[in-house]
Amino acid sequence: MFLITDIALLLGAYAAAFCVRMNFAEPIAGWQSACVSSVSACIVQMALLTAFRLNRAWKWRVTARDMPKYVAVFMLSAVVLVGLRVMLPDGNMMWARPPYSVALIDSVFAFFAIVGMRLLRQAHKASVMGDVMRKVEVPVPALFKGRRVMVTGAGGSIGSEIVRQVARAGAAKVFMVERGENALYKIDYEMRGSVTCVPLMADVSDESKMRSIFEDCKPEIVLHAAAYKHVPMVEMNPEEGFKNNTEATGLLVKLAKENGVDRFVLISTDKAVHPKSVMGRTKREAEKLVLAEGYTVVRFGNVFGSSGSVVELWREQIAAGGPVTVTDRRMTRYFMSVQEAVGLVLNAASSGSGKIYTLDMGEPKSILRLAEDMIKDAGWRPYKDIKIVFTGVRPGEKLEEELGLEQGTRIEGTKIFASPLIYD
């Protein structure tokens, strides 16, 4: 596929050069010789691209250090083609030799054609990898229209997308609760055109502050996304993990009940299923507190584009020339885009309360395969150009995550499963 595209580009560049040079007039030796000489030029240029290792699928990417090679290839091709014209007598194999001016113009056109196509493909691949499954759109239910909605962790990747979708759905007010100043500033700045969004800098574990917010703002729906989610960090700081993930959730549930909140949704994780890590246990206990009051839990796995996604780390590592770190070659994970995950969360919020909803995230993906594909899409060869280093499973991590879908029942029209209240 890549070789065919290169050949087509080189022949097109030659045809353009010939037309420019000949002003669309028939050449002296006729159009047949012009076609044959184009094949000669293409063979020379393809041979040089191959010699410089620039026409392989993994090399369809232009970097600053590759640019001198492309320049060298087409300068050298011009020298070779002009040399053929000089060395071969006029009467001998004249049909295989492009005119001097055509050879020079063709080299310039071919350079821009090849490099330009690689840059276009590179931009396309970057947009695809930059936001996997962005085209998947889940309609936001009418539940939020005209309602007062509180979003905790509003500055995070999940929380901020909840804010966007709820605001677009016509919420009367969106109270953005976030303790990180910079994170809150970013989402507030983004939503500055919406008078419905109110930034509230607060820690969800601060009882007096949160009680004041509930009493003053009177939210009808609470979407609780604030949490510590990095498994190794919570493993090393278990007290903070339980305080922020479990105790703070219990506090919010209590305040929600006291203030007559209609819907409360906890954003949970697949790590709460048969939890092995401290983080998983903190979220499992938080789920129990939410369900005990008849509210809703939504679980899902890893999210592309989130602040803690391994994909973002790999992008940085690939840009730096490697190595790319993978915990274990056997590890698999579920993945979903931020937009789709949040859309399904909002649909779960409008469904029955008192249940755990698990998002259908398809089949688990191999972490190693994903890392290899990202390296290839960046234009490099795994293990050769970019090394992959296996660091070992960290404390609290599993080789495979579970979603508990085998116990669920699909809600018609969505990718959500409602799970019974069973705890191991």
CB 240 within 8 A of CB 269: no
**For all residues of the chain together, what is the average pLDDT?**
80
Q: Given this model, what pLDDT does residue 373 score?
A: 81
Q: Given this model, what pLDDT does residue 40 score?
A: 85
115-124: list long-range contacts, CB under 8 Å, 24+ apart.
115/62, 115/67, 115/70, 117/5, 117/9, 118/60, 118/61, 118/62, 119/62, 121/60, 122/60, 122/61, 122/62, 122/379
Q: Given this model, what pLDDT does residue 93 score?
A: 57
Asked whether residue 171 carries a pLDDT value surpassing 60, the answer given is yes
CB 222 within 8 A of CB 195: no
Closest among 255, 387, 262 to 320, alpha carbons compared = 387
Asked whether residue 204 carries a pLDDT value surpassing 90, the answer given is yes
Closest among 358, 418, 348 to 140, alpha carbons compared = 348
DSSP 104: H
Asked whether residue 95 carries a pLDDT value surpassing 60, the answer given is no
Q: Indicate the pLDDT class of residue 273, thresholds 50, 70 and 90.
A: confident
The residues annotated with a catalytic role in the active site are 271
Q: Which residue has the higher pLDDT, 360 or 404?
A: 360
Query: Angle 2-22/100-130 helices, nearest 10 degrees?
Result: 140
Query: Angle 338-349/157-168 helices, nearest 10 degrees?
Result: 60
Q: Which residue has the higher pLDDT, 187 or 344?
A: 187
**DSSP β-bridge partners for residue 151:** 176, 223
Q: Given this model, what pLDDT does residue 404 score?
A: 55
Longest Cα–Cα distance of the chain, Å, equals: 99
DSSP 382: B
CA distance 44 to 41: 5
For residue 47, give Cα distances in angstroms to 7, 43, 124, 295: 11, 6, 27, 67
For the CA atoms of 290, 259, 264, 240, the dihedral, rounded to the nearest 10 degrees, stands at -50
Q: Given this model, what pLDDT does residue 409 score?
A: 41
Q: Indicate the pLDDT class of residue 103, thresholds 50, 70 and 90.
A: confident
Percent of the chain residues past pLDDT 90, beyond the cut: 33
Closest among 384, 363, 365, 362 to 375, alpha carbons compared = 384
Asked whether residue 3 carries a pLDDT value surpassing 50, the answer given is yes
Q: Given this model, what pLDDT does residue 187 score?
A: 94
Q: Given this model, what pLDDT does residue 304 score?
A: 64
Asked whether residue 22 carries a pLDDT value surpassing 80, the answer given is no
Write down the pTM of the prediction: 0.62
Q: Given this model, what pLDDT does residue 32 score?
A: 65
Domain boundaries, the chain: 2-130, 142-419
> What burial class does residue 273 get, using C-beta atoms within 10 Å of its C-beta: 0-12 exposed, 13-18 middle, 19+ buried?
buried
Q: 142-419 architecture in CATH?
A: 3-Layer(aba) Sandwich (3.40)
CA distance 162 to 223: 8
The mean-pLDDT minimum among 91-105, 215-229, 363-377 falls in: 91-105
The mean-pLDDT minimum among 27-36, 196-205, 247-256 falls in: 27-36
> What's the whole-number mean pLDDT along residues 324-340?
78
> What's the whole-number mean pLDDT along residues 53-61?
65
CA distance 231 to 50: 46
> What's the whole-number mean pLDDT along residues 322-345?
79
Q: Given this model, what pLDDT does residue 119 score?
A: 80
CA distance 133 to 136: 6
**DSSP β-bridge partners for residue 267:** 298
Asked whether residue 122 carries a pLDDT value surpassing 90, the answer given is no
Between CA 99 and CA 104, with CA 100 as vertex, the angle to 5 degrees is 115
Asked whether residue 380 carries a pLDDT value surpassing 90, the answer given is no
Q: Given this model, what pLDDT does residue 157 score?
A: 87
